[in-house]
Amino acid sequence: MEYRVLARKYRPAVFADLIGQEVLVRTFANAIATGRIHHAFVLTGIRGIGKTTTARLIARALNCIGPDGNGGPTVSPCGVCTHCTMIAESRHPDVPEMDAASRTGVGDIRDLIDTVQYAPSSARYKIYIIDEVHMLSASAFNALLKTLEEPPPHVKFIFATTEARKIPVTILSRCQRFDLKRVGTEVLAAHLNAIAQKEGARLAPSALTLLAASAEGSVRDGLSLLDQAIAHQAQGGGDISEEEVRAMLGLADRSQVVALFTLLAQGEVAACLAQLRALHEAGADALMVLQDLLEFTHFVTRLKHVPALEKDIAYAEHERKAAAELAGALSVPVLARLWQMLLKGLAEARRAPLPVAAVEMVLVRAAYAAELPTPAEALRALEKKTEPPAAATAPAADIPPVESFADAVAALERAREMLLASQLRQFAAVVSFKPGALCLAMRMTTGRDFTSRLAAALWRATGLEWSVTLAETADSPTLHEQEMARKEKQKQEAAAHPLVESVLRQFPGAEIIEVKETA
Ligand SMILES: [Zn+2]
């Protein structure tokens, strides 16, 4: 039997098969039910999401005549009538398909528009499918616009594009737009599983999730990867495991990459190198690890500004959680520096005769840099140095007394334990505090050695011996929450001030952003 790649074999034949596109399907079904069918559609979405397939489905829905030849437009095209079959094989004379990527000129569009005025030869509608429509030249768009302004009743246009923002607004505003969504990892994994079963292949659930995540929301990519995985199994037999898929993709275990990133940010050079070695021995490409670190740095940085990204399906849930914690703990200058060092390092490592050694050197450099002050911090430190020296010079006398948890965190900051201090500010709820003994509930996952690292850092910062213990939960607010509450209270007090009140009245919509205390 002829072998067909899965992406073709399982191409959706009805709207119900379009996984993850419920909004599109519902909107289109409504249009058909009410008879209010737009004369032009724009389908947007990433490559491999199914734009062309959807375009052909719409064309079939509009032109289907049913098995008995008497049917009208339907959301469930029959798939057997002459129009359905010819459109599925993209050979229907009334449903021409054009790839704008190869035919961008005004001449190509004119040829096409010349045929618009003629009635369809056999189908209900003449439907023009134009793929990659954003590639058309400006004059080609202009020629198209005239037709879109007054289209003959028997004509429909379906435009597909990966870049809707490159289509002139004048065109877009005359189309009904459908955004094809990336398919969620869970939905795609379930889809791949169903198809694997039909093909008589068995994959571990974690292997399916990994394939789905690697496809980044594209059904076609997911099916191609599944094809590969099944071909791998043909040599082995038994369930396809996550490890096999990882090896096939040349991927490091991404949670290991997240762990490596955390070590890097903490400046743990030896642990970083051990982690890289372990990943390399497990079959991961060192350059890919660097690439993964770079991507993760980018993700953490974006998270700082766009918290909604916590739902980004490209990352597993526990990775997103770790990223959110790191975003809270690391400053933008530190992340930006890490990004630059990794980016520069990646370019170097690509040219290096020994890529693994080169990647090791990049990690050493980046780990040391994580401990360095940012330029702004260095400047502040310099300004402090120019102040007159304190009377006492013995080191222990420099340390202010530690009478509260806030004092302890401030001491850590002075000792340049920025990551620890920031983690404490954001995530630590105090259960009990006395100088030298601290019990905390951490609202983040902490490493096994967290308490010992914290105790050691506190000892260096305060000159006191510390015992640090962790509790499951605590009701007390974190320092960050206390600070937020303080600012909120300040704002409320400021808003009650007669002068501020009158300003707010005169400028409706104005709000208090920040309250600054003046000496
Ligand atoms: Zn049909």
Residues lying with their CB under 5 A of ligand 1, a single-atom ion: 64, 77-78, 81, 84
Q: Does the fold of domain 396-470 match that of domain 254-375?
A: no
C-alpha distance across the termini of the chain, in Å: 86
The neighbouring-strand residues paired with 131 are 99
The CA 21 to ligand 1 mean position distance, Å, reads: 22
The neighbouring-strand residues paired with 179 are 44
pLDDT of residue 251: 66
Which H or E run includes 462?
A: helix 450-462
The CA 90 to ligand 1 mean position distance, Å, reads: 14
pLDDT in tens, 299-333: 999 988 887 776 665 566 777 888 888 888 888 88
Which H or E run includes 234?
A: helix 219-236
pLDDT in tens, 22-75: 888 898 989 888 988 999 999 998 888 889 999 999 999 999 999 999 999 998
- The architecture CATH gives domain 396-470: 2-Layer Sandwich (3.30)
CA distances from 94 to 60, 86, 331 (A): 11, 10, 59
Question: What is the pLDDT confidence band of residue 388, given thresholds at 50, 70 and 90?
Answer: very low
Cα–Cα distance, 110 to 117 (Å, whole number): 12
Strands 155-161 and 467-470, sheet pairing = unpaired
pLDDT of residue 78: 92
Q: In this model, does residue 84 exceed pLDDT 90? A: yes
Cα–Cα distance, 344 to 102 (Å, whole number): 36
pLDDT in tens, 174-203: 999 999 988 888 899 999 999 999 998 889
Q: Which two tokens stand for residue 20?
A: 């993850």
Q: Which two tokens stand for residue 120?
A: 């369809």
The CA 97 to ligand 1 mean position distance, Å, reads: 19
Q: Which two tokens stand for residue 34?
A: 């009410």
Which H or E run includes 345?
A: helix 332-351
The CA 77 to ligand 1 mean position distance, Å, reads: 5
* 3.40.50.620, 3.30.420.40, 3.40.50.300, 3.30.2320.30: CATH of 6-179: 3.40.50.300
- Going edge to edge, which strands form the sheet with 155-161? 97-99, 126-131, 155-161, 40-44, 176-179
The CA 61 to ligand 1 mean position distance, Å, reads: 7
Domain coordinates in residue numbering, the chain: 6-179, 185-219+235-249, 254-375, 396-470
Region 362-367: what's the mean pLDDT?
90
User: CA 474, 326, 479 angle in degrees (round to 5)?
Assistant: 40
The neighbouring-strand residues paired with 43 are 160, 178
Q: In this model, does residue 395 exceed pLDDT 50? A: no
Q: In this predicted structure, which of 1-5, 282-286, 351-355, 484-488 has the lowest mean pLDDT? A: 1-5
pLDDT of residue 3: 65
pLDDT of residue 396: 44
What does residue 22 show for φ and ψ, rounded to 5 degrees? -60, -40
Fold of 254-375: Zinc Finger, Delta Prime; domain 3 (1.20.272)
pTM, two decimal places: 0.55
Strands 437-442 and 126-131, sheet pairing = unpaired
The CA 82 to ligand 1 mean position distance, Å, reads: 7
Cα–Cα distance, 247 to 347 (Å, whole number): 24
The CA 150 to ligand 1 mean position distance, Å, reads: 28
- The closest alpha carbon to 206, from 217, 218, 214, belongs to 214
Q: In this predicted structure, which of 1-10, 270-279, 327-336, 495-504 has the lowest mean pLDDT? A: 1-10
Q: In this model, does residue 390 exceed pLDDT 50? A: no
Cα–Cα distance, 478 to 409 (Å, whole number): 12
Helix (H, G, I), strand (E, B) or coil at 161: strand
